[in-house]
Amino acid sequence: MNVSELVSAYLIDKNVREGEERLPFRLHVSDIANGCTRAVWHRIHNGLTNEFTSTQLKKFAFGHAWERVVEEALVFAGYEIIVDEMVEMDDGVIGHGDILAVNADTRHLIEVKTTMLFRNGGRPPVMYTRDELREQQRQYIIQPTRYAKHYACDTFTLHLIDRGTGIDGDFEFVTAEEWPYVKARSAQFKLLMELPDEPDALLPQWTRNAKGVSYICKTCPVLTCSQNPNYTAARSA
């Protein structure tokens, strides 16, 4: 029995069905955090859904499983929690925060992310610092900032865990300190989505290599985008 093929087929079918249920496509918090404005524009204007590979979907499954563990730990500690609540924000952007922990006095947003920490010469990986997250992995901060702002949480926690070793770490951020950058990026996305023609690509700095080339274009499934390396082949097929 080829379990790998069975799992891949199941995850791809599930993703397609869930994508169709979400049509028409709307601007999502994850687009603002990770996305390319050009690819998002094509999805909105052409009615496309996110087409993830089976490898990407397996990574998502790992992340969802760890979210469940964190949820159970919070309940065990006595918190009431709200999980994956889909919300529409003041500017029309939609999304769902991972976990909102509630007790008698406070509401605290928790964003759970699995990652692969940098391996250096075979030495054990080291968890990011706060400065490294802001400079190299800011997408991890953008999403919980938007949810914390929506839920009026003064602070939020980013919980990161390395998929390979189980090394984890918690980073607490002040919502008001992160909001100006996130607000500006959200406004840029909203403006470009309203253009009648394909906009310039607002690619996040953290997706680019030392030469300034973004990995997003190489793996992007939006073949209608003129910057996609597969664009010419797709149009001539």
pTM: 0.83
Number of domains comprising the chain = 1
Residue 203 has pLDDT above 80, yes or no: no
For the chain, give the percent of residues with pLDDT over 70.
83
The domain of 34 spans 3-236
CB atoms within 10 A of CB 54: 16
Residue 116 has pLDDT above 90, yes or no: no
Residue 20 has pLDDT above 80, yes or no: no
Q: What is the model's pLDDT at position 124?
A: 77
Q: What is the model's pLDDT at position 125?
A: 84
Give the pLDDT band of residue 22 (cuts 50, 70, 90).
low
User: What is the mean pLDDT of the segment spanning 110-130?
Assistant: 82
CATH of the domain at 146: 3.90.320.10
**Cα–Cα distance measured from residue 76 to residue 65, given in angstroms and rounded to the nearest whole number:** 17
Q: What is the model's pLDDT at position 68?
A: 95
With a CB cutoff of 8 Å and minimum separation 6, the contacts of 94 are 26, 27, 28, 29, 86, 87, 88
Q: What is the model's pLDDT at position 30?
A: 87
Residue 230 has pLDDT above 70, yes or no: no
Give the pLDDT band of residue 81 (cuts 50, 70, 90).
very high
